[in-house]
């Protein structure tokens, strides 16, 4: 190869090899390239405009991939960059105007940005200075795209050309802020008098509004009306009282910014260090069935505005939106000589923004669903609150999980009281919900027990007593019942509790439990007992949601209920009264079985359940096999599928699934109908002497 090269080309090639070796060398010192670069940049840019700059868009892969760069940059361009100006080919651009994700300049300039070659300029400055401190410069940030140059936020030029410049304190953050003035305006007055008294004892100037001011004054505490601060009376039935520059200026002012401080002095704006606000009871007003004008009047405006202003300026202002936080906040003041800590203010700000988001969500929901009657609004406003109890894990131990509750209302497994046992997992709650939803179908029925495994019912039965129902449900599939979830539609009694405790059970759900039943379960320390109280209404409306890649699938919940007028006998033989009762029971259970679903039922009990198969024929065969296996284990003379009714969650597309049910001994069939081969299926049923009814409703459960 060298023979084909000229001398100059060979020299360049050799130099390239040596340079390549240099690129992969690791400097001494024990630090990785990434660590050294991070430390280097932090020291280099500290207290300069670049220190506060945040890049937009994707992470710079080249920055991570390229080792130490042997090429020196331009020291003059480096100094200019530290001053907030990027010099490219003699053209200066303010760093605040650069959109690193979508540069709208020439291709060459874009390449320059994304190659991060300008870091060489910064590196050269640091190298030549050899660790010398960078010259003092105002520590501030200018928002991208809002000015043409960067400079001191307080300079005349910047005030003219950078109207959105926001100055930050000289220090990276202010930790302790003394609380000297507090604004209290609450709808829920729980604990507010004790809070006000504790603040007053510390010499805090109390300012308040309307009913809150009256309550504080009636408690014998000194308080000023908000009108004394604004020099403007409350008006329009209290709609306008805090929406004033004297209030929001006191909340939003950056205390260490000279321009902000000058504005406060010029206009007589006093700083507000603490805001205590909770919002008008919008949700409660809706829940009590109020008329539209009252609901609208309970949409808070000034409250959320103050909350957001205080939360935004949490560098200086504390915001309390929940009485549950009052005690901790007072403890923070006590520990810091009347000052709040930055950590506390940050935590309270996060909670405050969540509170206003939830409040706005509730309002948007009411407007969309109730006021406008939209089933699926253009924007789906949802806000849920995390349950205080921690879930052990998700579907698998390597997954994490949490339970979230609606803001108001709700009746179901999420609201159940856990009396004993270890923490619940995602699977526990999912299966318990499936069990409770199914047993709620028998809300007004006889004593009924449901046994669920992996969200599928494996045994369901009704009886004269809860014990009788449990024994029949358990007999349906004794293998699957091990480690299952049990739900009852009646309070647990001692006899049933004793029977349930005879096998390993994960969770038991019931409206209530007798003292004797609780004592029996207490011996099983790992068994979770959940008391649901009133069972949820199976016919209630609502939404069902499932996340998919890139979106959220939403549908109305399956609250379809079978009524007598829906039943249509399609065979020559009509079902007997007992067969019809068995059909209805099987149909109710099939609604809660994963598709494809086949359920055999006889005498108020499931005889066999086939779930989740890719074809209906296999589901029918599995259900029949389970029934035969159950008979053998119990020592019965024949499986309970003999003389049973069979339910299918969707139509039989071919007669083979129906014939499999005939082989199992079924004498009656209930199914939606609607197949193009319904005539064939009906003919096969007639030939087998079956009675068959159509419902006209299917219950796919994927």
For 665-684, give one letter per residue: b (16+ CB within 10 A) or e. Answer: bbbbbbbbbeeeebeebbeb
Whether the CB-CB separation of 513 and 521 falls below 8 Å is answered with yes
Q: H helices of 219-316, where?
A: 226-230, 245-252, 258-267, 282-287, 292-297, 302-312
What is the edge-to-edge ordering of all strands in the sheet holding 691-694?
A: 568-569, 691-694, 668-671, 645-648, 598-601, 606-610
Instruction: Choose among 224, 204, 202: nearest CA to 213.
Output: 224
> How far is C-alpha 384 from the geometric centre of its chain's CA atoms?
6
Token pair 């199976």 in the structure block, residue: 538
H/E segment holding residue 362: helix 342-365
The Cα 575–Cα 588 span in angstroms is 17
Number of other CB atoms surrounding residue 265 within 10 Å:
9
Residue-by-residue DSSP string for 623-648: HHHHHHHHHHHHT-SS-TTTT-EEEE
> How far is C-alpha 258 from the geometric centre of its chain's CA atoms?
41
Residues 6+ apart with CB under 8 A from 355: 279, 307, 321, 322
The Cα 344–Cα 349 span in angstroms is 9
The Cα 301–Cα 247 span in angstroms is 14
Half-sphere exposure of 1 (CA within 13 A, CB side): 5
Q: Tell me the pairing of strands 448-453 and 404-406.
A: unpaired
Would you name the residues annotated as active-site residues? 312, 454
For 89-119, give one letter per residue: b (16+ CB within 10 A) or e. Answer: eeeebbbbbbebeebeeeeebeebbbebebb
The Cα 273–Cα 250 span in angstroms is 8
The Cα 62–Cα 336 span in angstroms is 46
The Cα 121–Cα 85 span in angstroms is 12
Q: Return the structure tokens found at 615.
A: 């074809």
């Amino acid at each position: 190869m060298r023979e084909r090269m000229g001398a100059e080309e060979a020299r360049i090639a050799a130099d390239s090899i040596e340079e390549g070796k240099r690129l992969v060398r690791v400097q001494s010192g024990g630090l990785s390239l990434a660590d050294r670069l991070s430390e280097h940049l932090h020291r280099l840019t500290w207290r300069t405009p670049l220190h506060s700059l945040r890049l937009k868009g994707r992470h710079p892969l080249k920055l991570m991939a390229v080792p130490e760069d042997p090429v020196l940059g331009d020291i003059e361009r480096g100094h200019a960059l530290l001053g907030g100006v990027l010099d490219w080919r003699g053209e200066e651009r303010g760093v605040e105007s650069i959109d690193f994700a979508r540069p709208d300049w020439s291709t060459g300039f874009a390449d320059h940005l994304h190659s991060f070659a300008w870091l060489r300029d910064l590196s050269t400055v640091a190298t030549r200075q050899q660790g010398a401190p960078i010259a003092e410069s105002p520590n501030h940030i200018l928002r991208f795209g809002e000015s043409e140059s960067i400079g001191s936020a307080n300079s005349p030029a910047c005030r003219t050309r950078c109207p959105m410049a926001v100055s930050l304190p000289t220090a990276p953050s202010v930790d302790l802020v003394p609380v000297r003035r507090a604004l209290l305006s609450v709808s829920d007055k729980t604990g507010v008098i004790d809070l006000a008294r504790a603040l007053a004892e510390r010499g805090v100037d109390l300012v308040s509004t309307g009913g809150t001011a009256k309550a504080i004054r009636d408690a014998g505490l000194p308080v000023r009306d908000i009108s004394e601060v604004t020099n403007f009376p409350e008006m329009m039935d209290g709609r306008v009282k805090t929406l004033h520059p004297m209030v929001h200026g006191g909340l939003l002012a950056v205390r260490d910014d000279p321009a902000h401080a000058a504005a406060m002095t010029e206009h007589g704006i006093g700083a507000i260090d603490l805001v205590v606000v909770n919002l008008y009871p919008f949700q409660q007003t809706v829940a009590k069935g109020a008329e539209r004008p009252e609901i609208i009047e309970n949409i808070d405006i000034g409250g959320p505005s103050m909350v957001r202003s205080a939360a935004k300026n949490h560098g200086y202002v504390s915001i309390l939106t929940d009485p549950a936080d009052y005690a901790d906040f007072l403890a923070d003041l006590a520990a810091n000589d009347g000052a709040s800590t930055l950590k506390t203010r940050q935590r309270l700000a996060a909670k405050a923004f969540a509170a206003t988001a939830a409040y706005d969500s509730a309002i948007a929901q009411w407007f969309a669903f109730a006021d406008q009657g939209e089933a699926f609004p253009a924007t789906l406003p949802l806000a849920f609150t995390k349950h205080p109890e921690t879930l052990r894990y998700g579907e698998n131990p390597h997954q994490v999980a949490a339970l979230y509750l609606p803001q108001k209302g709700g009746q179901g497994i999420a609201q159940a009281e856990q009396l004993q046992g270890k923490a619940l997992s995602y699977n526990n709650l999912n299966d318990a919900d499936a069990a409770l939803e199914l047993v709620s179908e028998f809300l007004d029925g006889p004593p009924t027990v449901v046994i669920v495994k992996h969200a599928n019912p494996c045994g369901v039965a009704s009886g004269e007593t809860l014990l009788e129902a449990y024994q029949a449900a358990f007999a349906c599939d004794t293998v699957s019942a091990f480690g299952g979830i049990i739900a009852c539609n009646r309070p647990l009694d001692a006899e049933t509790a004793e029977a349930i405790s005879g096998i390993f059970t994960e969770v038991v759900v019931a409206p209530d439990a007798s003292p004797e039943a609780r004592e029996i379960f207490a011996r099983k320390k790992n068994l979770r007992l959940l008391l649901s109280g009133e069972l949820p209404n199976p016919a209630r409306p609502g939404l069902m949601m499932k996340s998919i890649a890139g979106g959220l699938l939403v549908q109305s919940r399956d609250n379809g209920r079978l009524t007598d007028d829906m039943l249509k006998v399609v065979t020559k033989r009509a079902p007997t009264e007992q067969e019809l009762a068995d059909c209805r029971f099987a149909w109710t259970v099939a609604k809660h079985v994963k598709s494809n679903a086949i359920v055999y039922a006889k005498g108020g009990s499931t005889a066999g359940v086939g779930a989740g198969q890719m074809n209906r024929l296999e589901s029918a065969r599995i259900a029949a096999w389970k029934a035969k296996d159950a008979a053998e284990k119990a020592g019965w003379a024949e499986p309970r599928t003999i003389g049973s009714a069979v339910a299918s969650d969707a139509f039989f597309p071919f007669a083979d699934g129906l014939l499999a049910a005939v082989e199992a001994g079924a004498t009656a069939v209930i199914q939606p109908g609607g197949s193009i081969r319904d005539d064939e299926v009906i003919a096969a049923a007639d030939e087998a002497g079956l009675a068959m009814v159509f419902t006209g409703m299917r219950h796919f459960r994927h």
